[in-house]
């Protein structure tokens, strides 16, 4: 089922009517609004997505009687007068999913919009958090529609609190509350307080009407007095405000790309190639999809869903606008705001540190250092490692000490992190860049024409041999067996030879630093895990090839060189496991996590380290400390969000929420992906494709390019363009790395969404 666009048309002013509670007058206000719109000569619709109780007493009947010029419709009617989630179960009918409800609302609303200019009032049931048929509360259920909200406040005793709470619940879920309406109860005068209160919150208008007359015993007389009541109500000024806000919203949305092209300096973007037409104006995001301004003027709906194919630069894990994470952020902001962290502690920071140390299941780790993003976290890791190595091997603080790494590695955009990468397109024109390391070449893994192939670079074939086929991706990760093969021994000999030559040349190294399994920014390179394991093994058992110093007696202390695993991209279930290091069967001395750490909501980074690394900074001299920090270190909001994010992903694993993907790859007990085996196999046979791999939530396709591969290649742009064109109803937003097209799901992406995206990709590859 295709994703549902948000509700935004030029021809239709669509508004949701929420109530601060049940029985606050939603339908009465809807009737007043419908009549006011009809009197303006506009077509008017009243839509009740879900209704419970006798059909002849439904809100639609009230509209039919007292707003006869209004078209009315109810989508899901249940006979039992109770909460929709109970009524739906008791009905004996199939319970519609949230997607079913949203799709039906959109299809119905789209039909109204096609009939010309007009107004739609979409009335919810009960209160803000009254459940829909599936049990999802309405504040969450209807959030993807992004229809502006008219909130009907509670004029009764206790109504001030109810109204403010309803407002905050909607606001925290991204709803725009455009107007607050309530009865003018002269006893409690809630409207007076609420008018002052909301006047201080951006000037939201609070309007009132007199309460309706008390019900009469005589039905006909009661009908007549209600008709008189409605005839005397005038809320034209409310409609004028709503109409103006709607026009302003569209005007602002349509002008954003032009204004942005003149005032924003974009990251990783050649600004000369940026025009208003190439910028995506994102109105909102929910789940896996952006709601993007549709560039086609002929499209009635101004917004179009776009799958977030880069997971918002690899950060997205639990879906956009995840209310659990939103509440965590609000809780921490309300409890702490921001508090300094030096020589202080707060519960979110301590809880997260304990959670990560336990989840990593690495007996070496004992300490957690907080920073703000992956690049700075990697710089912290390098500072840790270099200090530990310098002290053990007796080097001076001003000696040139480099790192060992892998070709194609990239650890961030700050100067220190850049120096940890070989010269490449990212750093070759940076004025202060100095590549401070040696970077090994290595074999890679690709699925080529249905076979998983260990591909050996041409320059290493004398030492490592030719390419070799493995039966499955499971065999790729069966290191227990592969450690006993000639491949492993060749890797060892090659690495030992390189280290011996480096030692003979007099170079000094203070760390081994690499991204486990996948090199992200370097081109989504799948490194043979056996090579990475061999590299760690050789370095740890070869301190004599690094420097002169005593070997540690503690088996948990670092040996040879401190080993840093940069799991900024690959960690925390990106590849299907809590740590990517677990694929290698070895433990790091230092590890960096970011990206999925907070589920994609706010920046935060952790660098975990062993006690032997920590001890290198312990002395009586303050200047020997790790002098690194920033004002927002371990900010409580980020730590609390991260606690919720990590806990949710761990709970998802326990609940078996990825079992459908694991079963699809059940022959591969070592690894799995949410991208189907059949799909990966099909892509691997495409004539445009050099190779493909899928692991966890990530898919990477290497495309042929006669002009050469690499970051400067434009081969993947064609595929990216096809996905951006989409199906008409939706498209996919993606990023490319030269000739490598990659796309990644979140940890919450449904099987159905992936199947639709796979279909879109196969269609694009066939063009």
- Report pLDDT digits (tens) over 138-176: 999 999 999 999 999 999 999 999 999 999 999 999 999
Under 8 Å CB-to-CB from 239, ≥6 apart: which residues? 33, 36, 37, 40, 119
pLDDT at 1: 66
Residue 651 has pLDDT above 90, yes or no: yes
Higher pLDDT, 499 or 709: 499
* Percent residues over pLDDT 90 in the chain: 88
**Most distant CA pair in the chain, distance:** 105
Q: Rounded mean pLDDT of 664-670?
A: 79
Among the ranges given (100-109, 379-388, 499-508, 718-727), the one the predictor scored with the smallest mean pLDDT: 718-727
What residue ranges define each of the domains in the chain, with the CATH number in brackets? 12-216+230-239 (3.40.50.300), 323-653 (3.40.640.10), 661-766 (3.90.1150.10)
pLDDT at 678: 96
Measured in whole angstroms, the distance separating CA 147 from the mean position of its chain's CA atoms is 22
Q: Rounded mean pLDDT of 296-303?
A: 81
CB 556 within 8 A of CB 363: yes
pLDDT at 753: 94
Q: What distances in angstroms separate CA 712 from CA 77, 333, 549, 683, 700, one per listed residue?
A: 57, 43, 44, 23, 17
pLDDT tens digits, 36-94: 999 999 999 999 999 999 888 889 999 999 999 999 999 999 999 999 999 999 999 99
Place of tokens 């789940």: 287
pLDDT at 448: 97
Tokens of 456: 């050996």
No. of helices (H) and no. of strands (E), the chain: 25, 27
pLDDT at 611: 98
In three-state secondary structure terms, 88 is helix
pLDDT tens digits, 425-449: 888 899 999 999 999 999 999 999 9
Q: Rounded mean pLDDT of 622-626?
A: 95
Q: Rounded mean pLDDT of 645-655?
A: 98
Residue 295 has pLDDT above 80, yes or no: no
pLDDT at 736: 87
Distance between CA atoms of 344 and 738, rounded to whole angstroms?
Answer: 45
Among the ranges given (218-232, 525-539, 719-733), the one the predictor scored with the smallest mean pLDDT: 719-733
Residue 268 confidence class, pLDDT cut points 50, 70, 90: confident
CB 756 within 8 A of CB 2: yes
Strands (E), 372-414: 402-406
pLDDT at 296: 75
For the chain, what is the mean pLDDT?
Answer: 95
pLDDT at 553: 86
Residues paired with residue 307 on neighbouring β-strands, in sequence order = 289, 732
pLDDT at 47: 98
pLDDT at 19: 98
pLDDT tens digits, 328-357: 999 999 999 999 999 999 999 999 999 999
Query: What's the pTM value of the predicted model, to 2 decimals?
Result: 0.95
Higher pLDDT, 1 or 111: 111
pLDDT tens digits, 389-398: 999 999 998 8
Distance between CA atoms of 510 and 388, rounded to whole angstroms?
Answer: 8
pLDDT tens digits, 121-135: 999 999 999 999 999
Four-point Cα dihedral 96, 100, 104, 105, nearest 10: 90
Residue 476 confidence class, pLDDT cut points 50, 70, 90: very high
Of 100, 167, 103, 105, nearest to 139 by C-alpha is 167
Residue 606 confidence class, pLDDT cut points 50, 70, 90: very high
Residue 281 has pLDDT above 70, yes or no: yes
Distance between CA atoms of 712 and 217, rounded to whole angstroms?
Answer: 80
DSSP string, 134-157: TS-BHHHHTGGG---EEEE---ST
Region of residue 116 (left: phi > 0; alpha: psi -120 to 50; beta: else): left
Residue 300 confidence class, pLDDT cut points 50, 70, 90: confident
Distance between CA atoms of 494 and 352, rounded to whole angstroms?
Answer: 40
In three-state secondary structure terms, 46 is strand
Tokens of 253: 């949305």
CB 150 within 8 A of CB 178: yes
Residue 664 has pLDDT above 70, yes or no: yes
Four-point Cα dihedral 66, 68, 70, 73, nearest 10: 80
Task: Name the DSSP letter for residue 426.
Answer: T
In three-state secondary structure terms, 694 is strand
Q: Rounded mean pLDDT of 461-478?
A: 94
CA dihedral over 72, 76, 78, 83, signed as positive or negative? negative
Of 583, 542, 553, 546, nearest to 565 by C-alpha is 583
CB 35 within 8 A of CB 67: yes
Residue 198 has pLDDT above 90, yes or no: yes
pLDDT tens digits, 687-728: 999 999 999 999 999 998 877 666 667 778 888 888 988 888
pLDDT at 289: 96
Question: Helix 26-39 vs helix 236-263: angle between axes, to the nearest 10 degrees?
Answer: 80
Tokens of 468: 């070799």
Residue 514 confidence class, pLDDT cut points 50, 70, 90: very high
């Amino acid at each position: 089922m295709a994703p549902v666009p948000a509700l935004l048309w030029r021809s239709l002013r669509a508004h949701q009517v929420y109530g601060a509670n049940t029985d606050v007058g939603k339908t009465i206000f809807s009737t007043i609004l419908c009549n006011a719109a009809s009197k303006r000569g506009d077509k008017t619709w009243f839509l009740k997505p879900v209704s419970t109780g006798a059909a002849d007493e439904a809100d639609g009947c009230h509209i039919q009687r007292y707003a006869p010029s209004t078209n009315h419709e109810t989508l899901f009617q249940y006979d039992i007068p109770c909460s929709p989630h109970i009524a739906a179960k008791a009905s004996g009918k199939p319970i519609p999913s949230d997607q079913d409800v949203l799709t039906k609302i959109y299809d119905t609303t789209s039909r109204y919009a096609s009939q010309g200019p007009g107004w739609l009032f979409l009335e919810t049931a009960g209160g803000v958090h009254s459940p829909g048929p599936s049990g999802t509360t309405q504040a969450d259920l209807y959030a993807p529609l992004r229809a502006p909200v008219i909130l009907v406040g509670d004029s009764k005793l206790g109504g001030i609190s109810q109204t403010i709470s309803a407002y905050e619940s909607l606001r925290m879920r991204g709803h725009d509350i455009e107007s607050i309406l309530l009865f003018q109860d002269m006893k409690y005068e809630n409207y007076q307080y609420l008018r002052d209160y909301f006047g201080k919150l951006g000037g939201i208008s609070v309007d009132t009407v007199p309460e309706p007359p008390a019900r009469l015993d005589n039905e006909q007389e009661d009908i007549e007095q209600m008709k008189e009541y409605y005839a005397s109500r005038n809320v034209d000024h409310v409609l004028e405000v709503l109409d103006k806000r709607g026009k302003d919203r569209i005007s602002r949305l349509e002008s954003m790309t032009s204004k942005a092209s003149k005032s924003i300096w974009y990251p990783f973007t050649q600004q000369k190639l940026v025009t208003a037409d190439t910028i995506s104006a994102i109105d909102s995001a929910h789940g896996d999809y952006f709601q993007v301004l549709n560039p086609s003027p002929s499209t009635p709906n101004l917004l179009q869903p776009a799958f977030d194919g880069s997971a918002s630069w690899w950060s997205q894990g639990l879906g956009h606008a995840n209310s659990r994470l939103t509440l965590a952020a609000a809780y921490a902001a309300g409890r702490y705001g921001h508090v300094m962290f030096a020589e202080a502690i707060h519960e979110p920071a301590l809880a997260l540190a304990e959670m990560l140390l336990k989840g990593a299941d690495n007996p070496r780790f004992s300490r957690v250092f907080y920073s703000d993003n992956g690049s700075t976290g990697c710089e912290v890791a390098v500072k840790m490692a270099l200090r530990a190595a310098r002290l053990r091997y007796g080097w001076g603080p001003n000696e040139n000490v480099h790192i060992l790494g892998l070709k194609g590695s990239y650890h961030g955009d700050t100067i220190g992190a850049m120096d940890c990468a070989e010269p490449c397109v990212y750093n070759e024109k940076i004025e202060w860049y100095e590549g401070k390391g040696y970077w090994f070449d290595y074999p890679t893994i690709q699925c080529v024409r249905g076979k998983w192939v260990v591909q050996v670079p041409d320059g290493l074939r004398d030492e490592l041999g030719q390419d070799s086929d493995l039966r499955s991706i499971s065999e790729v990760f069966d290191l227990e067996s592969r450690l006993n093969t000639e491949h492993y021994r060749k890797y060892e000999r090659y690495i030992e030879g390189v280290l011996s030559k480096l030692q003979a040349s007099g170079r000094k190294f203070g760390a081994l630093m690499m991204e486990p399994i996948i090199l992200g920014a370097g081109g989504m390179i799948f490194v043979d895990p056996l090579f990475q394991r061999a590299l760690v093994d050789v370095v740890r058992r070869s301190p004599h090839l690094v420097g002169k110093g005593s070997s540690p007696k503690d088996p948990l202390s670092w040996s040879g060189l401190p080993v840093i695993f940069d799991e900024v991209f690959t960690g925390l279930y990106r590849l299907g496991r809590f740590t990517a290091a677990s694929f290698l069967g070895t433990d790091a001395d230092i590890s960096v996590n970011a990206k999925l750490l907070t589920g994609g909501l706010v920046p935060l980074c952790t660098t975990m380290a062993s006690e032997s690394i920590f001890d290198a900074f312990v002395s009586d001299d303050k200047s020997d400390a790790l002098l690194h920090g920033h004002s927002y270190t371990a900010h409580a909001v980020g730590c609390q969000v991260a606690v919720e994010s990590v806990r949710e992903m761990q709970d998802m694993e326990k609940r078996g929420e990825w079992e459908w993907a694991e079963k699809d790859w059940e022959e591969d007990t070592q690894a799995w992906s949410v991208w189907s085996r059949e799909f990966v196999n099909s892509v691997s046979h495409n004539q445009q494709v050099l190779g493909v791999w899928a692991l966890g939530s990530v898919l990477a396709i290497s495309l042929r390019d006669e002009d050469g591969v690499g970051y400067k290649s434009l081969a993947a742009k064609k595929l990216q363009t096809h996905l951006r064109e989409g199906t008409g109803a939706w498209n996919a937003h993606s990023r490319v790395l030269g000739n490598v097209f990659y796309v990644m799901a979140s940890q919450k992406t449904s099987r159905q969404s992936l199947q639709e995206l796979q279909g879109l990709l196969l269609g694009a590859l066939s063009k």
